[in-house]
Each structure stands twice: as C-alpha cells, then as structure tokens.
Amino acid sequence: MNDGHYPPPKQFGLLVHTILILLMFGLSGWGIWNLTFAEVGPNFVIFLLDALLALVPLPLFLYRAYALMRADYILDRDSLELRWGLRDEDIPLTDIEWLRPATDLTTPLRLPWLPMPGAVLGLRRHPDLGVVEFLASSSKNLLLVATSKRVYAISPTNAARFAQTFARTIEMGSLLPAEAKSVYPSFLISRAWRNPLARFLWLAGLFMNIGLAVWVMLTIPTLSQVTLGFAPSGAALPPSPASQLILLPVISSFLFLAGLFSGMYFYRWATHRILALVLWTSSALSALLFLLAVLFIISTPV
C-alpha cells in the first residue's frame, strides 16, 4: 500500500459479516411477521424468542463490519498506528521492541474467543509473551508487534512487505518523538456516561422500552383484537389480532438502539456531540410516543 497504509484483508470478512447480518435480519423479520398472526400460546412464544434471539447478535455483527471497514495499520517515521473501529492504538516506534511472524514462536499462539473471518479480535495470554491483543482480520500470516506493555497481533495484507518497510523505517530513525495513545470503545462509553444529559436520555429510553415490552406482553392475553391505525379517510382500520401489538415494542427498541449507536459514533468528536445528544433525545422521545400509542390503542374500543 502507499503512504504508509497497510490495511488487513477485508473482502472475505465483509462478505461473511454481510451474510450474517442479512441472515439475522431475515430470521428476526420472519419471527416478527409470524407474531402478527399467531394466537397467544406456544407458537407465539416460539416466534417471539426467534425474533429476539436473532436481534441480539446484530449489534455485534454490525459493529464488527464497521470496524473492519475502518481497520488500518499506518506506519510512518515516528509511530505505528493500529486502527480498528473505535479502537485506536498509536505506538511510538521507539517503544517497539521487536516485530516477527507468529509462526516463529516455539509455543503456538492460541486465537481469541470466537474468531471469524474479518474479526480475529480479543485478548489471549501466551506463556512466553504474556497478554497478546489481536487486531486482525485473519489468522494467517499474523505479525507480532511487541512493546514493553503488550504484544499486538496484526494481519496486514502483505505481511512481508510491511515487515521490510518497518525494518527500513527503524534504520532511518524517528524524526520527532511521538506520543503513545490508546483509545478503547469502553472509554468512549464511559466518557459519554459522565455527561448527565446523555446518561438521563440513555436510562430514560432504556426503561421506557423495557416497560413498553412488559406492558404489551401482559396486555396481549387480555385482548382479542385491536385497531392499529386509521385509513386516509380518517376511519379506523379493521380490527387486527391483539398479538400485532408486539410490533410496537420491537420497532421502538430498534429505533432506540439505532439512535444509541449512531449517537455514539458522533460523540467521538467534540464538534459533533450536539448531534449525538439530538439523536439520543429523539430515541427517548420515540419511546415515549410508542408508550402513548399503546395507551391510545388499548383504550380505543374495537
């Protein structure tokens, strides 16, 4: 790569993550669709579990796909930057003790928990190296970058070329002393949590969505039919099975999570934090509107 950029291989990992995301969306959509027709009983519970369990891993797959798209290893005369999603490690070249292929180890390096194409991520303790942090998209051609604090496992597309460039850069020496920097996703969350308004909006949206889900699940068995809207003429739509009420907490939760993660993206920059607060405010307000919608629906005679 040019300009000191040596990104990891991405194409196959993005393909795998795209398939998994579409599969989870499909399974969840299938469960939600069947919920709208199922009577309260065993089938209703099965479809509800299908919809919820398929949605649980979605944020993980979406974030890993985003992280892989942003992943890069940037080498210059002063530092090596390891960039992976919201994780950013900037290592001064003077802090790097050695760089070598993982295949040179006498004791094989074990992979972190749940490795998959495009996401070989996490921590693993090695008997000789100590803690190894993986920031790689593939387990093949891993390079180990050792500092006094930690060893990093990376996977540049052309590992041999990266190693040669690194050796030449070390020989030339550093131009300016670089400053070490470590940024973790958890640091961003804790920084936003310290903002009282952000904390209030998160908790308000969370508790309203939990309350909405519990309220709807307790209400559905007591109703036979509900009216979910109005025709363009202003007349109420034909009654629907009460089980269709489950759509409201599902949609509300999806909007809340979408606003939460979108706001987290913008909160990284001080100049964009107002956008993050607007998104989190919208998420909390949408949850409130869904609560009012359920109140209106169950109080409207069919």
Tens digit of each residue's pLDDT (9 = 90 or more) over 167-216: 988 888 777 777 888 888 777 788 888 899 999 999 999 999 999 989 98
Residues 163 and 254 grouped into a single domain: no
- Stretch 260-283: mean pLDDT, rounded? 89
If one compares 39 and 21, the residue with the highest pLDDT of the two is 21
- Residue 241 pLDDT class (50, 70, 90 cuts): confident
Rounded to the nearest 5°, which phi and psi values hold at 117? -55, 125
Given this model, what pLDDT does residue 219 score? 87
Strand partners, 278: none
**Among 121, 153, 183, residue at a domain's last position:** 183
- pLDDT at 231 exceeding the cut of 60: yes
212 vs 221, which has greater pLDDT? 212
- What pLDDT sits at residue 233? 67
Residues with Cβ within 8 Å of 179's Cβ and at least 6 positions away in sequence, in order, are 90, 92
- Buried b / exposed e over 34-67, threshold 16 CB at 10 Å, is bbeebebeeebeebbebbeebbeebeebbbbbeb
Helix-strand-coil split of the chain, %, nearest 5: 55, 20, 25
Residues 189 and 179 in one domain: no
In a domain, 224, yes or no: yes
Q: Please indicate, yes or no, whether residues 234 and 274 belong to a single structural domain of this protein.
A: yes
Question: CA 20 to CA 27: how far, in whole Å?
Answer: 10
Does a structural domain hold residue 21? no
Q: Would the pLDDT of 1 be above 60?
A: no
Give percent of the chain with pLDDT exceeding 90: 44
In a domain, 232, yes or no: yes
| Bridge partners, residue 240, by sequence | 226
Give 129's Cβ-side CA count (13 Å radius).
27
Q: Which of 183, 218, 249 is the last residue of a domain?
A: 183
Which residue would you say has higher pLDDT here, 184 or 2?
A: 184
- Is residue 240, in this structure, part of any structural domain at all? yes
Query: 114 and 101 in one domain?
Result: yes
φ/ψ of residue 146, rounded to 5: -105, 130
Is residue 174 domain-shared with residue 243, that is, in the same domain?
no
pLDDT tens-digit profile of 49-82?
888 788 888 888 999 999 999 999 999 888 999 9
pLDDT at 299: 78
CA geometry: angle 246, 220, 208, nearest 5 deg: 55
Domain annotation covers residue 89? yes
Assigned domain for 147 exists: yes
Residue that wins the pLDDT comparison between 270 and 103: 103
Asked whether the whole model's pTM tops 0.95, one would answer no
| Final residue before a domain boundary, out of 183, 206, 227 | 183
Average pLDDT in the chain: 87
Q: Give dist(CA 18, CA 12) in Å, integer.
A: 10
| pLDDT value at residue 266 | 87
Kindly tell me if the per-residue pLDDT of 125 is higher than 80: yes
With cut-offs at 50, 70 and 90, classify the pLDDT of residue 156. very high
Q: Sheet with 120-126: list strands edge to edge.
A: 96-101, 143-147, 151-154, 130-136, 120-126
Checking if the pLDDT of 227 tops 80, the result is no
- Predicted local confidence at residue 236, as pLDDT: 66
Backbone angles phi, psi at 211, to 5 degrees: -60, -40
What is d(CA 120, CA 71) in angstroms, rounded to the nearest whole number? 12
CATH number for the domain spanning 176: value is 2.30.29
Q: Check whether residue 108 and residue 161 sit in a common domain.
A: yes
CA proximity to 70, closest of 82, 55, 58, 61? 82
| Residues 250 and 171 grouped into a single domain | no
Range of the domain at 257: 184-302
Residues 106 and 116 in one domain: yes
Please report which helix (H) or strand (E) contains residue 44, including its range. helix 42-55
pLDDT, average across residues 21-29:
91
Specify which residues 122 forms β-bridges with.
134
- Report pLDDT for 301: 62
pLDDT at 151 over 70: yes
Return the pLDDT at 209. 92
pLDDT at 297: 84
Residues 217 and 206 in one domain: yes
Domain count, the chain: 2
CA distance 48 to 35: 7
Read off the amino acid at residue 152: Y
**Residue 177 counted as domain residue:** yes
What confidence category does residue 10 fall into, taking pLDDT thresholds of 50, 70 and 90?
very high
Do residues 161 and 204 both lie within one domain? no
Read off the tokens for 23: 């599969």
Q: Could you tell me if residue 64 is inside a domain?
A: no
Residues 161 and 133 in one domain: yes
In this structure, are 147 and 250 located in the same domain? no
